[in-house]
A and B are shown apart, each in its own frame.
Chain A
Amino acid sequence: MFNPSLQLIKKEIRQKNFENILSTVTFFLFLPALVIIFMLFLKGYPALSWNFLTQDPIHGMTAGGIFPTIVGTFWLVIISVLVSCPLGVTAAIYLSEYATDNKMNRLIRLAILNLAGVPSIVHALFGLGAFVLFLKMGTSILAASFTLAVMNLPVIITSTLESLQAVPMSYREASWNVGASKLQTIRHIVLPNSIPGILTGVVFAVGRSAGETAAILFTGVAFYLPFLPQTVFDQCMSLSMHLFTISTQVVGVPDSYPFATALVLIMLILSVNSIAVGLRYYFRTRRKW
């Protein structure tokens, strides 16, 4: 009486097949990441050393290390986050907590979505026009960071908006209902509950800007600099740009150099991303509910 009918057996086979297809596809998505890191490690291994990380490039970038490019990347990333984070979070709080559903605000949301779709080379041209020339920042770390910040804004706004809206409406109602103002509600209820999501979004944006090349191309990154940047008005080198340079523009670079540089860049991004994952985990376990 409870034996499976032929139809049921067929159904279960189809079910199993479908599951197998899904898991195979997922596996193949995971594969490239592994292969890339493995190949980079394999080919870049001969160049990797402590000196590679801590010394300046010498002999027209065909020897030495990549220290100034790491320093430059840090400058760019940190300043761009300092700019985009407060702006993005503020905008997201406005959109989530204050904005009513009118034409203007719908237009703002649309603009943010579109900003996310703008190619980075176009951001670079915008940065060149707006920051380098119009605001007279010159090609500098500042101009490049601002360009990166503009590029990261939609990412930060969208992820912040999502984590704000994930806070249940009933918490806000409960808080207003005892007479808390909107600001008090945001400070004491909404933000504490959405911080993990916001931080995760910010840190992923950091990872993205660390690897960005086109956006900083005309705005503040130099081909080669014989000195480290002293102020934000100096130019700097960057890992991503350096990778492009030694791969295609310079003759006589050892084969292992570009791979080792790429490996350093990827490891940097991966470690930043794992910080994001770690933060999320930390906040999740610390929560009482």
Chain B
Amino acid sequence: MNKTQAVNTNEFSFWYGDFQALKKLTFNITANKITALIGPSGCGKSTFLKCLNRINERGAEVSHDGSIQIFGEDIYHPQVALPELRKQVGMVFQKPNPLPLSIYENVIFGAKTHLPGLKRVQLDEMVETSLKRVGLWKDLKGQLDRSALSLSLEKQQRLCIARLLPLKPKLLLLDEPCSALDPAGIEAIEILIKDLKKDYSIIIVTHSMNQAKRVSDETIFMYMGELVEMGKTASLFETPKEARTAAYIEGRFG
């Protein structure tokens, strides 16, 4: 394993009860790049994403086989503490889900749960840096006490990204982050995502092949829980090696 790889999966399979959602996935995801996961509904792309911070383990009977390493560390090792894993591998959901708190409280919520006793000055600075990073500071600096739920969907989604940043995550997981947004919102979030890859490794699940083409460096095509093809985005879309990939990106199924 070398430092430029964010994720290594090795023969990784995953089951919800008896249903095998992922089948022997083996691939590497490069650090500081944007990797798009595409495939028809139910192909396992969201499941894979949720395995990366193990957020899918509540309430469901799940089991796995094989391994996933994030920056060289096995995330299914028995000593892995889930709160720590989730702190470093943050997820942005399909539907913006700000907490029912003020904008300010939303940004510092994660930091406060991990580092109790932060001073007001440090928190203020945290809020300012994070909101600046996602482009919300100029609009919202005067109204940080407003409820986060009163923001537009696009701003809510930016806020959901912003609240991960004080935790200094290594990997950002975006689960169809734009599917609830209008075209202007989509464009704005895509610009933000591309800007964020300087500092973070990003995996994005998307239904839109155009979005995958626009934002990602590498693309993984999954089908029925299996990896079909992986490659540089440009070459995967121009000269797919697999027939199924070609069929999917031409819109013949899925």
Chain A residues proximal to chain B, CB less than 8 Å: 100-101, 170-171, 173-181, 184, 188-189, 193, 287-289
Contacts and interface: CB of A to CB of B under 8 A. Distances in A.
B160 A174 contact: yes
In order of increasing CB-CB distance, the 3 nearest A-B pairs are A178-B110, A179-B87, A288-B147
A289 B150 contact: yes
Contacts of A101: 59
Contact-residue bracket for chain B: 20 to 34
A178 B90 contact: yes
Contacts of B150: 288-289
Interface string B50-80: 0001010011000000000000000000000
A177 B99 CA distance: 11
Nearest to B100: A289
B113 A181 contact: yes
A171 B106 CA distance: 11
Given A178-B87, A179-B84, A179-B87, A288 B102 contact: yes
B113 A289 contact: no
A178 B109 contact: yes
Nearest to B95: A170
B24 interface: no
Nearest to B173: A177
A102 to B, nearest CB: 11
Contacts of A188: 109, 113
Contacts of A100: 59
Nearest to A192: B100
Contacts of A287: 100
B109 A179 contact: no
Contacts of B97: 170-171, 173-174
B149 A289 contact: yes
Nearest to A185: B113
Contacts of B101: 288
B86 interface: yes
B12 to A, nearest CB: 21
B55 A178 contact: no
A100 to B, nearest CB: 7
B131 interface: no
Interface in B78-99: 82-87, 90-91, 93, 95, 97-99
Contacts of A288: 100-102, 146-147, 149-150
A179 B59 CA distance: 17
B241 interface: no
Nearest to B91: A177
Contacts of B91: 177
Contacts of A178: 86-87, 90, 109-110, 113, 163-164, 167
B162 to A, nearest CB: 11
A175 B93 contact: no
Contact of A174 (B83, B99, B102, B114): B99
Nearest to A101: B59
Contacts of B102: 288
B110 A289 contact: no
A100 B164 CA distance: 29
B9 to A, nearest CB: 21
A179 B147 contact: no
Contact of A181 (B83, B146, B147, B167): B83
Nearest to B92: A177
Given A101-B59, A171-B99, 17 more contacts: A100-B59, A170-B95, A175-B99, A176-B58, A178-B90, A178-B110, A179-B84, A179-B85, A179-B86, A179-B113, A180-B83, A181-B83, A188-B113, A288-B149, A289-B100, A289-B149, A289-B150
Contacts of B163: 178
Contacts of B93: 170, 173-174, 177
A177 B90 contact: yes
A105 to B, nearest CB: 12
A184 B110 CA distance: 10
Interface in B96-131: 97-102, 109-110, 113-114
Given A188-B109, A289-B150, A171 B100 contact: yes
A208 to B, nearest CB: 31
Contact of B53 (A170, A177, A180): A177
Given A100-B59, A170-B95, A176 B86 contact: yes
